[in-house]
Amino acid sequence: MKFASWNINSINLRKETVLNWIIENNIDVLGLQEIKCENEKFPTKFFHENGYFVEVIGQKSYNGVAIISKQPVQLSNSCLPSLKEEEPQARYIEVEISNFIYTSIYVPNGNPIDTNKFSYKKKWLDCLIKHSNDLLSFEKPVILAGDFNVIPETLDCWDEKVWENDALAIPIIRKQFRTIKHQGYFDAFRLLNGNKTEWSFWDYQNGSWNKDYGIRIDHFLINSYAADIIKNCTIDKKPRGKEKPSDHTPIVIEF
DNA sequence: ATGGCCGAATCTTTCGGA
């Protein structure tokens, strides 16, 4: 069973790219972030016609998450439960599929750090900490997948100095990411690949792709039931080098 | 970071992203 996650930066601009990639790579379940459209504007029919099921939590212009799958999934959450009353942004979808719990997560960026965007990120991560802990009560594999907007450690970016005061790497945010892990989750990429340095995002600006100025901010955090059966975890950097790419490249996990 | 982009919508600018 192969799962993937991809911040696609507009699904309507890149629906063919997504379809071709999941077919070529034999992906069973794909979580998308930054679809940047409302539910009605999602290319649901396009994926149905090509044999895939779709679950969408969209919003106008920004954010938005979705799940595309070969088999039908059961929607278990369309928002972080403790944020439900006050959350206007589409950043979380959770499904059950063939004994797995799978998510597509889009954590707020949080910059600049002296604004309410940063406090919103901290609050959002606190709600994710709580919910991820609740998910550990299920005695089955749980995969928290998505764009966490967190550079977990120094070796996850091309130059630590550039990021040291950024909302993606500042100590308090890294600590929240570690708190999720301490509760009972593993960073699947680290678990399988040791200290390998690979990136999942390269900025459109500054010629970052050509200079390989990247960061690793897209992650799979998996519980012990998932760690028991994991086969591999990779970052497929090829899509980032193609025409009209997203600024993120997909990550893949296999069981 | 010499400086360099890209997407949706408000559409020849603005805002958000990382």
pLDDT in tens, chain A (255 residues): 999 999 999 999 999 999 999 999 999 999 999 999 999 999 999 999 999 999 999 999 999 999 999 999 999 999 999 988 788 899 999 999 999 999 999 999 999 998 999 999 999 999 999 999 999 999 999 999 999 999 999 999 999 888 989 999 999 999 999 999 999 999 999 999 999 999 999 999 999 999 999 999 999 999 999 999 999 999 999 999 999 999 999 999 999
CATH code where residue A92 lies: 3.60.10.10
Of A13, A229, A25, whose CA–CA distance to A5 is shortest? Answer: A25
For residues A84 and A130, give the distance between their C-alpha atoms in angstroms, rounded to a whole number.
13
State the residue range of the domain holding A219: 2-254
Residue–nucleotide distance: A63 CA to B8 C1' (Å): 11
Would the Cβ of A149 be found within 7 angstroms of any atom in strand B?
yes
> Model-level pTM?
0.96
> Which residue in the block uniquely carries the two structure tokens 């895939």?
A52
Distance A115 CA to B11 C1' (A): 28
Strand B neighbours among A 77-96, CB < 7 A: none
Q: Are A62 and A47 in contact (CB under 8 A)?
A: no
> A35 beta carbon < 7 A from strand B?
no
Q: Which residue matches tokens 């039908």? A: A72
Check if residue A225 sits with its Cβ under 7 angstroms from strand B.
Answer: no
Nearest residue, CA→C1' of B16: A62
A49: alpha, beta or left? (left if phi > 0; alpha if psi -120 to 50) = alpha
Number of domains in chain A: 1
Distance CA A225 to C1' B8 in A: 40
A212 touches strand B (CB under 7 A): no
CB atoms near residue A194 (< 10 Å): 7
d(C-alpha A61, C-alpha A204), whole Å:
19
Non-local (6+) Cβ contacts of A103 within 8 A are: A31, A92, A93, A94, A95, A143, A144, A145, A146
Q: Is A23 (CB) below 7 Å from strand B?
A: no
Number of C-beta neighbours around residue A57 at 10 A = 24
Angstrom distance, A205 CA to B3 C1': 9
| The pLDDT of residue A84 | 80
Contacts of A13 (CB under 8 A, 6+ apart): A244
Nucleic strand B under 7 Å from the C-beta of A213: yes
Longest dimension (CA), chain A: 48
Q: Which nucleotides of B are covered by protein (CB under 7 A)?
A: 1, 3-10, 16-18
Q: Which of residues 46-65 of A touch strand B (CB under 7 A)?
A: 60-63
Radius of gyration for the alpha carbons in chain A, expressed in angstroms and rounded: 17
Q: How far is residue A35's CA from residue A49's CA, in Å, rounded to a whole number?
A: 19
Residue A241: CB less than 7 A from any atom in strand B: no
In the block, residue with structure tokens 């699947």: A188
